[in-house]
Chain A
């Protein structure tokens, strides 16, 4: 296996430390562990104005459905302390326009691509997977199962182990076997570990943890909910501890499953925190709204933070917070006895 050591020219003060930043999600190997997050980067064109998106681990595209979709009415966002609430409603052009316009552009641009798919029925996910199977230039598929299940009174697929696993199994069955499938899970469940295990058994090659967590903001001037959709997904630094908790819990029960960590990352140390808890790679989401050039900065900050902690490879830091307590003692050298004693 070739291990490319990629150094980024940040144009800033930070040295580019000699840390192997290669990240892998199942069979998908990337020169950087920093990715965008679905729904926070459209399909890459906008961010490519601010930095070279081919330097990302991968672009994770906005969730695509079979048909064009208008999304919800406005207001769609509300600012919250260190976060934001959104209720966009999966606005998108439909899979065919996505392939012709967005995927074609990403391929031409030479970006690594994880395509996020969403559906209202298990059949829709399966149909999307079959269409994507005919396409070149897809490195992995992320299955956004935080969508209302039409057949289950609008309960989201991610809320139940059986419905989550059902979607994952059908996407896995219908996709190119060489393309990894990541299931993106919701933190809004009673027992995340059970759902994660069910997805893994259903054939998920990895998990994306986490999607937004539900919230409501009431506008104290209008004295009504601030969002047209009433409830919205909370994202941003406010949810980072929830992301770390979810990654931690799943890593405890699935020591080897690839995890793409997402939730509140805005610095290299934030990314490191998710990695130490068990993430193999990290998506930068809401932070991009604030700082579109953040992903490359976070890559460099992470490399510096890893070097400062003595890591030569990013992969050695994955799940490091789960190590046995006595490992710390083993690593400490015997204190040298001063000569004068």
Chain B
């Protein structure tokens, strides 16, 4: 069950092109599993003109220490809301709801797992890597971004993975190209049975397809824009195939953000496929 609390900013520190916000959230660390996210209100709860919460996957948690429970969020300064968040300083208040969503499913057996992160989509993968290793899983990490500046967590990856593969589109770090160019080789070498991925939709689609071809399971955390993060606004829907084989528009915030890759109709995101339950008939709706 999520907690709504008035968090206090502990630190905001730079990490390449991004910033890491550490904020108090008593009770949240104990409940957080890798893949959970937090939804932050922008500005004062009663007067701000920016109404929609911003959702960020939880990068790390600390349940003890002088601040009590805190969580770490990776934020990219891309708009008015994230800009406001990154202007906060120690002691400033931010209303926070966490943990939210359905986290990554962890394997019961100590199988080989490959973790793939695009840009700062890698944020939840290091907590995941730690828990997988505690279960005796082999962990290999592939991180990719447009440029070296836009990679996130390379050092953390090196601490927690058997191998780390880096790709950048401009070749400024690691191999030139995209994560999916290297993924097959990494999976082959590691004998991966599960792929965990977080990043842009196009990357998730490619990872999911590759996993399927190789007979591996995939767990993909989607980044879909949300208004509430708690399941009431119906804005973050994507077409997903259910256990009954029927496609429905499902909420990323409560039924995701983590989905089994083969269940998501990646090519149809942004549309309502004609065979979706309750899809518009001629004339639309």
Partner of B272, one of A46, A73, A292: A73
B31 within 8 A of A: no
Q: Are B237 and A290 in contact (CB under 8 A)?
A: no
Residues of A within 8 A of B249 (CB): 70-71, 91
**Distance between Cα atoms of A89 and B233 in the complex (Å):** 12
Q: Are A70 and B51 in contact (CB under 8 A)?
A: no
B17 within 8 A of A: no
Q: Are A289 and B272 in contact (CB under 8 A)?
A: no
- Which A residues between 37 and 81 are near B, CB-CB below 8 angstroms? 39-42, 46-47, 49-50, 62, 67-77, 79, 81
A211 within 8 A of B: no
How far is the CB of A210 from the nearest CB of chain B, in Å?
A: 18
Residues of B within 8 A of A289 (CB): 51-53, 227-228, 232-233
**Distance between Cα atoms of A138 and B218 in the complex (Å):** 44
**Distance between Cα atoms of A267 and B46 in the complex (Å):** 7
How far is the CB of A14 from the nearest CB of chain B, in Å?
A: 14
How far is the CB of B245 from the nearest CB of chain A, in Å?
A: 15
Partner of A77, one of B4, B50, B52: B52
Q: Are A69 and B278 in contact (CB under 8 A)?
A: yes
How far is the CB of A36 from the nearest CB of chain B, in Å?
A: 9
A203 within 8 A of B: no
What DSSP secondary structure best describes chain A's contact surface? loop
Contact A74-B233, Cβ < 8 Å, known A68-B277, A288-B228:
no
**Distance between Cα atoms of A334 and B2 in the complex (Å):** 56
Q: Are B228 and A84 in contact (CB under 8 A)?
A: no
Q: Are A70 and B248 in contact (CB under 8 A)?
A: yes
A300 within 8 A of B: no
Q: Are B49 and A74 in contact (CB under 8 A)?
A: no
Residues of A within 8 A of B236 (CB): 74
**Distance between Cα atoms of A126 and B198 in the complex (Å):** 47
Residues of B within 8 A of A94 (CB): 278
**Distance between Cα atoms of A224 and B46 in the complex (Å):** 32
Indicate with 1 or 0, residue by residue over A25-43, a CB within 8 angstroms of chain B CB atoms.
0000000000000011110
Who on chain B is nearest to A94 by CB? B278
How far is the CB of A259 from the nearest CB of chain B, in Å?
A: 24
Who on chain B is nearest to A86 by CB? B235
B130 within 8 A of A: no
B238 within 8 A of A: yes
- Which B residues between 231 and 281 are near A, CB-CB below 8 angstroms? 231-238, 248-249, 254, 269-272, 276-280
Q: Are B232 and A67 in contact (CB under 8 A)?
A: no
Q: Are A77 and B235 in contact (CB under 8 A)?
A: yes
How far is the CB of A196 from the nearest CB of chain B, in Å?
A: 27
Partner of A71, one of B4, B225, B272: B272
Who on chain A is nearest to B247 by CB? A70
- Which A residues between 93 and 124 are near B, CB-CB below 8 angstroms? 94, 120
Contact A75-B225, Cβ < 8 Å, known A46-B254, A47-B232:
yes
A90 within 8 A of B: yes
B1 within 8 A of A: yes
- Which A residues between 174 and 212 are near B, CB-CB below 8 angstroms? none
**Distance between Cα atoms of A289 and B97 in the complex (Å):** 11
**Distance between Cα atoms of A271 and B227 in the complex (Å):** 23
Q: Are B2 and A49 in contact (CB under 8 A)?
A: yes
A170 within 8 A of B: no
Indicate with 1 or 0, residue by residue over B206-232, a CB within 8 angstroms of chain A CB atoms.
000000000000000000110110111
Contact A236-B278, Cβ < 8 Å, known A74-B224, A76-B237:
no
A82 within 8 A of B: yes
A88 within 8 A of B: yes
B193 within 8 A of A: no
B184 within 8 A of A: no
How far is the CB of B154 from the nearest CB of chain A, in Å?
A: 29
Who on chain A is nearest to B228 by CB? A289
Q: Are B52 and A292 in contact (CB under 8 A)?
A: no
Indicate with 1 or 0, residue by residue over A265-295, a CB within 8 angstroms of chain B CB atoms.
0110000000000000000001111111100
**Distance between Cα atoms of A108 and B46 in the complex (Å):** 33
Q: Are A292 and B235 in contact (CB under 8 A)?
A: no
Contact A74-B269, Cβ < 8 Å, known A68-B277, A69-B285, A288-B228:
yes
B95 within 8 A of A: yes
Contact A293-B278, Cβ < 8 Å, known A70-B248, A91-B249:
no
Residues of B within 8 A of A293 (CB): 4
How far is the CB of A155 from the nearest CB of chain B, in Å?
A: 13
A228 within 8 A of B: yes
B283 within 8 A of A: yes
A166 within 8 A of B: no
How far is the CB of A293 from the nearest CB of chain B, in Å?
A: 6
List chain B positions with a Cβ less than 8 A from chain A. 1-2, 4, 41, 45-46, 49-53, 95, 97, 224-225, 227-228, 230-238, 248-249, 254, 269-272, 276-280, 283, 285
A50-B4, A289-B53 known, 5 other contacts, Cβ within 8 Å: A47-B232, A75-B225, A84-B227, A289-B52, A292-B228
Closest 9 pairs between A and B when the two form their complex, measured CB to CB = A68-B278, A289-B228, A69-B278, A77-B235, A70-B278, A46-B231, A82-B49, A76-B235, A70-B276
24 A-B residue pairings within 8 Å (CB atoms): A49-B2, A69-B285, A70-B249, A71-B234, A71-B272, A71-B278, A73-B271, A74-B235, A77-B52, A79-B51, A79-B52, A82-B49, A91-B234, A91-B278, A94-B278, A148-B285, A237-B49, A289-B51, A289-B52, A289-B232, A290-B52, A290-B228, A291-B95, A292-B230
